[in-house]
Amino acid sequence: MSAIPLIVVGLYLAVLLLFGWLGYRCSSNSEEDYYLAGRQQGWIISAMTIMATFFSSFALLGAPGMVYREGVVFALVSLNVPVAGVCIAIFGNRIRKAGLAGGYVTQADMLCDHYQSPVVLRILITLVGFLFAIPYVMMQLKAGGELAAVLFRDQPHAFEWGAIILSFITALYIMIGGMRSVAWTDALQCFLLTSGMIMGGVALLVSMGGPAAFLDQVSRLPAASLTVPGNTGFWQVPMLFSVCLLMPIGGIIQPAQWMRFYSARDANTLRRSALIFTILLTGCFVFAIMPIGLGGQVMYPLSYSANGVAPHPHVGNYDQILVVILGDILPKMVGGTVGMTLTSLLVVAIMAAAMSTADSNLHALSALFTRDLYGRFFRPRASERERVWAGQIVILLATAASLILVLIGSRPESSLAGFMQMIVGLALFAVAFSVQLLPMTIDVLFVRRGTKSAAICGLVCGLVVAFCFTSLFPPLMQLLPESTSASLSGVIDQAKALAPIHASAWGLIANSIVFVLLSAFSQKQLASILFVVTLSASVLPAQAIDLAKEDSSGAKPVILAHYMPWFKAKPFSDHWGWHWTMNHFDPETIIGEKRQIASTSYPLIGPYDSGDPQVLEYHLLLMKLAGIEGVIVDWYGLTDLNDYAQLHRNTTRLLQQCERMQMKFVICYEDQTIPALVAAHRISESNKVSHAVKELEWLNRYWFQSGSYLKQDRKPVLLSFGHAGLSKQEWTECLKELSFELNYFSQDYRREGASGAFGWPAPRIGLKQVDRFLAESQNWPQAIPAAFPRFDDIYREAGIGEGYPVLPDRAGKTFQETLQKVTDSRQFLIQLVTWNDWGEGTQIEPSQEYGYRDLEFLQNFRRERFDSSFEPVGKDLEIPLKILQLRREQPDQQKTLDEVVAQLLAGKIPQARELLSSLLPE
């Protein structure tokens, strides 16, 4: 390996230690000098230390890594930079002036002085500081380890040594020089990290042939990489908005930045800092960092498997994409030695990004402990020199603790591995807590009407609620009683489904409500409000009991449509899938404006791809307008055999759309895949049950936790299709081995351990099968009867056996009669078979042959039987098709079309129709 990286990195670290020593030589032993550099920092140093503290390893590793994983959607997070600049302009000088007037050093000094709460509020604010600082320091040490792992690939334990060395150097120069050395090193690091960003962006664009070639290649990425909510479906619009707004606020009012406002020399210093911050960092983010993530997808395509999206094997870890790209292209562009030198400088820039934030947060953590805890509660008479010394010990201990957590979390088997998977996740976890200081900050600086009790109670509520929505809360719920855990989990899931926003937003909502109420009302008024709420709570359950006693004939079942996710079609995919061709029909052949497909009917929108998010939106909007509340979807498991991986990806996208539209979702497990895996020698005969258990446990860990997933008595509903998979005995063993309870339904008859069974058309028996199923199900605890429109398969024409007898459509009467019968059975769930099994002809999805007929009947049926206020009518069913057509024909109108969809989901159909009409040609 070349010595160049070692020399460049070594020189950089030596300069940092030199700055630490110079800071020590220029400082006094006072706390104000050690923590605030005597409040005399000029605008250049202030601007650069604020930028360096804000732009951590998140900027050079985390952000490009997340863009590489998600696509264009995360590039929109660059909007957080101007929001942060505005926050500096709004809060910065007011905090500086108050700090100077009151001699404040930490956040708690100012806030506790205002609210006259020297103990409780001070402890809470210090806790917020710890909850922010420790994850942020961990994030930077993790970045150091990942850099070393890429730079020294051939060295064992490179990650561990990288994290250790970065932590040691950072702690050492802070302990030596305090705020002055931190600010000086931040200035150097800010120059390096911005230079690194610009160098990275320029190098990438040059290597890809310039901006035009770059945009052309990016435009060919998969649709999920170019649309909301991204490849994993996490970044829905509410989530994106809450992160863009609250992440920068939390990053600006956190302890380290607050102290930088204190240390600024004057108002002009902070005004100039805000301007430089906004212009420089926004430009670096938009024109350098974000293109690297998108270019990474072009150069190192993501791989898709049954477990979802994964980075290219050469990349290894999403967060390493920038280092990998530039490490590969720079030596090729400018030669080996120069390229290695530039790559090493880039590594130094990333180290600068990491260390500039780590040092700031460790320094702030030291101030929190010494000023807000040690000097207040443990050693009130301690001298300033002793408190500075105690703060240095805290820096050492906090660094060691963060390092230990990083090293533990780097092991795949660790319980912290998921929490530490990506740098962005750590950053978002930290700001979920720091942003809870916003209500107090606004009140102290502007309103000045809040009370001590409001500040304390609001902050406690905000911290607790925010933590409940983080990734660390589910493991802790296991310590609670099962009933409490299930109830709390259900509430959180429903809240996430109702509003997919970040944990920081949930906490801030609770915090703000409590803060405003306690500040606005007197104790007597609050007691009166509490009395009314308590009285209502006692009356409402009694009313609920009375309602439950009413005749259940009017009870509304949940109506779900059975959904097939298996279609592949051009141009979304590169070829036509089996379910459109059945190895017999050629969709490229067009006769009478119809492609030749494996179906006796023809979709109204033509043959489509089940992975196309625009098609999924079209389907679910149709269902919602027809009164269908969700889907039961065929799922073929996690293993990559045949088309199972593609089916899993399509099902994942369907679930994401269901969550977006607040629709229900149920899995129908195709356990016939298990014998297929045995035949392919992917699993052994003896491992059939354990394989099923593993897949169901995966469902429970991920999809069953969704607020959209249908549960009965708090237990997820699961169907299994057919009887060609596990035997009765094997299903019994499987259900016993699960770590959770299921509402399990087998097909046609109830297996041992099942809650009941679900019905399915039986062409050889005919409509009598419906009566037989309803009669037998009276002896079961539960059942899921099926209504269907017809059965008219294409198998014989496709050369797949003789096919099945036809169950005729009878001009819609088959669907109407079966729906009436299964509704009269008064079961909790009705399955419509099917939404889109075009091969067997059971679809109710609109077709050229039947139009919207079956969906119009559903609308009227729902209105007459269950919900007289159900508004959508027949003509409204045409809206989703118009939306789909406009999405395909007018790509520049996506934002307006999103608004149309939002209006539909809110039940504002006239407004949606009016907005849509503005896009239609006259």
Q: What is the DSSP string of 561-572?
A: EEE------TTT
- State whether 415 and 453 are in the same domain: no
C-beta of residue 814 within 8 angstroms of C-beta of residue 806? no
Question: In the prediction, which pLDDT does 882 show?
Answer: 95
**What's the rounded Cα separation, in Å, for the pair 868 and 662?**
21
Assigned domain for 617 exists: yes
- Nearest in space to 857 (alpha carbons), one of 836, 840, 877: 877
Could you check whether the bond before residue 571 is cis, i.e. omega within 30 degrees of 0? yes
- Nearest in space to 241 (alpha carbons), one of 77, 54, 62, 59: 77
**What's the rounded Cα separation, in Å, for the pair 143 and 130?**
20
The domain boundary residue, chosen from 852, 872, 892: 872
One-letter amino acid at 387 equals R
Gap between the terminal Cα atoms of the chain: 68
Instruction: Strands of 45-93 (E only): list them.
Output: none
What are residue 178's phi and psi, to 5 degrees?
65, -150
Assigned domain for 217 exists: yes
C-beta of residue 370 within 8 angstroms of C-beta of residue 398? no
**What's the rounded Cα separation, in Å, for the pair 675 and 724?**
8
- State whether 467 and 337 are in the same domain: no
**Helix and strand element counts for the chain (H, E):** 39, 14
Q: Under DSSP, is residue 56 helix (H, G, I), strand (E, B) or coil?
A: coil
Per the rule left: phi > 0, alpha: psi between -120 and 50, beta: everything else, 801 is: left
Give the containing element (helix H, strand E) for 122.
helix 120-151
DSSP state of 555: P
Assigned domain for 390 exists: yes
Q: What is the domain range of residue 184?
A: 4-448
**What's the rounded Cα separation, in Å, for the pair 261 and 263?**
5
Assigned domain for 911 exists: no
Strands 756-758 and 782-784, sheet pairing:
parallel
pTM: 0.57
Question: In the prediction, which pLDDT does 747 show?
Answer: 94
Structure token digits, residue 917: 């009409």
Q: Under DSSP, is residue 606 helix (H, G, I), strand (E, B) or coil?
A: coil
- State whether 517 and 655 are in the same domain: no
C-alpha count within 13 angstroms, C-beta hemisphere, residue 714 = 11
Split into its structural domains, the chain has a count of: 3
Q: Which residue has the tokens 């690091």?
A: 189
Instruction: Strands of 509-635 (E only): list them.
Output: 558-563, 590-591, 594-595, 630-635
Give the containing element (helix H, strand E) for 310.
strand 308-310
DSSP state of 553: G
Assigned domain for 443 exists: yes
- Nearest in space to 633 (alpha carbons), one of 708, 578, 724, 714: 708
- State whether 563 and 428 are in the same domain: no
Question: In the prediction, which pLDDT does 331 show?
Answer: 73
Assigned domain for 660 exists: yes
Return the CATH number at 633.
Answer: 3.20.20.80
Could you check whether the bond before residue 229 is cis, i.e. omega within 30 degrees of 0? yes
**What's the rounded Cα separation, in Å, for the pair 602 and 271?**
64
The residues facing 787 across adjacent strands are: 832
The domain boundary residue, chosen from 402, 432, 448: 448
**What's the rounded Cα separation, in Å, for the pair 763 and 760?**
10
- State whether 418 and 462 are in the same domain: no
Q: Which residue has the tokens 């709004």?
A: 90
Q: Which value, in Å, is the radius of gyration of the alpha carbons in the chain?
A: 31
What is the mean pLDDT of each successive set of 10 residues along the chain, which is 922 residues long?
66 67 56 54 66 64 85 81 87 88 85 88 88 79 76 74 79 57 64 76 85 89 82 83 89 83 82 81 81 89 70 82 79 68 68 62 74 73 73 81 82 60 73 93 92 93 91 73 70 79 93 92 62 50 38 67 95 93 95 94 96 95 96 92 89 91 94 93 93 93 88 91 91 93 93 93 92 92 95 94 93 96 92 96 96 96 90 94 93 89 89 88 68
- State whether 627 and 765 are in the same domain: yes
The residues facing 591 across adjacent strands are: 594
**What's the rounded Cα separation, in Å, for the pair 749 and 467?**
44
Burial classification of residue 33, based on how many CB atoms lie within 10 Å of its CB (0-12 exposed, 13-18 middle, 19 or more buried)? buried
Structure token digits, residue 265: 């020399």
The residues facing 716 across adjacent strands are: 711
**What's the rounded Cα separation, in Å, for the pair 744 and 769?**
21
- State whether 195 and 49 are in the same domain: yes
Instruction: Strands of 45-132 (E only): list them.
Output: none
Structure token digits, residue 696: 């169901």
Structure token digits, residue 631: 């889907």
Return the CATH number at 138.
Answer: 1.20.1730.10
Question: In the prediction, which pLDDT does 96 show?
Answer: 87
- State whether 245 and 255 are in the same domain: yes
Helix residue spans in 210-252 (DSSP H):
211-218, 237-252
- State whether 333 and 349 are in the same domain: yes
**What's the rounded Cα separation, in Å, for the pair 256 and 272?**
19
Helix residue spans in 370-422 (DSSP H):
384-409
Return all residues near 723 (Cβ < 8 A) that are at least 6 apart.
746, 747
- State whether 656 and 726 are in the same domain: yes
Q: Which residue has the tokens 């090293």?
A: 407
Structure token digits, residue 657: 């759309």
- State whether 619 and 629 are in the same domain: yes
The domain boundary residue, chosen from 502, 535, 550: 550
Structure token digits, residue 360: 């700031």
Assigned domain for 885 exists: no
Distances (CA, A) of 786 to 481, 519, 664, 810, 863: 37, 56, 17, 18, 20
**What's the rounded Cα separation, in Å, for the pair 645 and 690?**
20
Q: Which residue has the tokens 């469902």?
A: 699
One-letter amino acid at 791 equals F
Structure token digits, residue 2: 């070349």
- State whether 297 and 411 are in the same domain: yes
Give the containing element (helix H, strand E) for 196.
helix 158-207
Assigned domain for 365 exists: yes
One-letter amino acid at 404 equals I
